Amino acid sequence: MLQLDVQLCGECGGCVAVCPCGALELFASGLRIDHTECTLCENCVIFCPTGALEIDSVRGKAPSH
């Protein structure tokens, strides 16, 4: 599952732009991840300037829905 470290997040919105499936949305209150939409493609992980996003390697697969 995609994990966000809120301490590191600069709320810049770049991850939202590179997300091909619309799983991320930036609110004034912070970044929101829709895990049902996330395909774990890692675009946001690669883009993030701070390393605030990463794929949890232990549970590293998408939840089934």
The residues of the shown chain that bind other proteins, judged by CB under 8 A, are 10-18, 20, 22, 24-28, 43, 46-51
CA 40 to CA 10: how far, in whole Å? 21
Shortest Å distance, C-beta 9 to other proteins: 8
Shortest Å distance, C-beta 60 to other proteins: 18
Shortest Å distance, C-beta 62 to other proteins: 19
If the CB atoms of residues 50 and 56 are measured against other proteins, the closer one turns out to be 50
**Alpha-carbon dihedral sign for residues 35, 40, 45, 47:** negative
Report CA-CA distances (Å) from 7 to 50, 56, 61: 10, 17, 24
